[in-house]
Amino acid sequence: MTVRPSEQGPAEVDVAYWSRSDQFGIEGWRAADSHPGQIVGYAEPELKCWMALPSAGDDADFPEPWAGDDAEELFGSGI
């Protein structure tokens, strides 16, 4: 999915999944490289769009973040 630019950094593409609440955090979008004790979560306003993962055999390049007209920076997110 594409994460909008914010005061924490520029727009980026990240692999994320929806997680139900558990002993490690609340329900929501989590970065795939999260693990117990160090969960990277995304709020809905931080996310721009998503795409399905390509097949394992695809030679496609990793997509660039969304750079459309509405790619304004979000202020105060994650703080």
- Domain ranges within the chain, ordered by starting residue: 2-49
Closest listed residue to residue 28, CA positions, set 72, 78, 67: 78
Which pLDDT tens digit goes with each residue over 5-63? Answer: 888 788 888 888 888 887 777 788 888 888 777 888 888 888 888 877 766 665 666 66
Q: Where are the beta strands (DSSP E) in 1-79?
A: 2-3, 12-13, 16-19, 28-31, 41-42, 47-49
Neighbours of 5 (CB within 10 A): 20
Which pLDDT tens digit goes with each residue over 21-35? Answer: 877 777 888 888 887
